Structure formats: C-alpha cells, structure tokens
Amino acid sequence: MATMQCSIVSAERNIFAGEVERVVAVSVMGELGILRGHEPSLLELKPGPVRVIREGGEEEIFYVSGGFLEVQPHEVSVLADSAERARDLDAGEAEKARDEARSALAGRSGELDHQHALAEIEAATARLRTLSQLRNRKGQK
C-alpha cells in the first residue's frame, strides 16, 4: 500500500513524524480514515485517539486533546493543543480527573463552572477511550 508523510504536533513538541499507510482520527463530524491521495481537507478534531498505521500494519495510538487535522494528498498533519502517546497515559489519573469533574459538576456554582466541568469530563473520558483502544490492540482487558 502507498504511504504518506504524517506528523503529530502539540503546542509543546513534535510527537510523531514518519511514513504511514493510514491515519484514523475522530473529527467533530465522526471517525475518519485517511489514505494517500485523500482530498485536501482541514478538519476539527475531538479529544480522543489518533491511530497511525505504518507500512506492514504496525499501529501506534496517540491521545490528542482536540485540534485540527490537515490533509494533503501526500501528507497528514495533526495539530493539537496537547498530544501524547497512548502508552504514556495513566488510567488512574484519567479516572480521578473524570471523578473530580463529575463532583464539580454536581456542586457547580455557575455556567462557567458547568462548562469547565463538562470539558474536563470529556477530556478524561477521551483519555480512557484511548487507553481502551490501546489495550484492545494488545489483546488485553
């Protein structure tokens, strides 16, 4: 299968750069897979996993906090506020953050608190979804 260049960049650093066969991400319009020759696009990403499949089927999963996916016929760029390799995520930390946000939501004192708590719940849930995909790929429970 033909490859294309892929880069995943956060505000802090470059996370990944290399040749890939396919990139799978979740945009605000749903999950999509990008292959070489895809029509140029600029898509807003939801917080969650980005899967990179290299030549030969080797897959690596990343977590992005949201951002944009820029697609050119021979190149894909993921531009995220924050991004990290799924293997570096801490499930306990993500669960704790989700629980704290839920508690804050229950005791909210204003609309801003409500919106912030919902965003924190979404981010923590997306981290846990990313970890779940990583475990499923490795055949773990």
In degrees, to the nearest 5, what angle opens at C-alpha 133 toward C-alphas 51 and 126? Answer: 85
Pairwise CA distance, residues 128 & 141, whole Å? 13
- CATH H-level superfamily of 4-86: F0F1 ATP synthase delta/epsilon subunit, N-terminal (2.60.15.10)
43-95 confidence digits (pLDDT tens): 999 988 999 999 889 999 999 988 999 999 999 999 998 898 888 877 777 77
pTM for the whole structure? 0.72
Residue burial 104-113, b: 16+ Cβ < 10 Å; e: rest: bbeeeeeeee
Torsion over CA: 96, 100, 101, 106 (sign): positive
The ranges assigned to domains in the chain are 4-86, 90-138
97-123 confidence digits (pLDDT tens): 777 777 776 765 555 566 666 677 677
Residue 96 backbone dihedrals phi, psi, to 5 degrees = -65, -45
**Cα 33 from chain centre:** 13
